[in-house]
Amino acid sequence: METTLLNRITNNPAILTGKPVIRGMRISVEQILKMLARGISHEDILEEFPLLEDDDIKACLVYAANMISHDVERA
């Protein structure tokens, strides 16, 4: 399941200078995580970005968790 979700996250130097984005769109993982941190609901995010799907938001969370996990392993 995680791998399937993570396939939604892409990096392309031509899109947002290579930041992780959702399915090649100009919507960054960082942007979605910041919205969630501000307490914006999944439903409101999906309303603001109609091309997003619920699994895209889940993918952002899995991506962030994996990044933190790798940081802890290296420490």
Measure the CA–CA gap between 25 and 75, rounded to whole angstroms.
Answer: 33
The whole-model pTM stands at 0.89
CATH of the domain at 24: 1.10.10.10
DSSP 28: B
Measure the CA–CA gap between 66 and 49, rounded to whole angstroms.
Answer: 24
Share of the chain above pLDDT 90, in %: 87
pLDDT digits (tens, 9 = 90+) for 49-60: 999 999 999 999
- How many separate domains does the chain show? 1
Residue 2's pLDDT is: 87
Residue 72's pLDDT is: 55
- For residue 6, what are the domain limits? 2-74
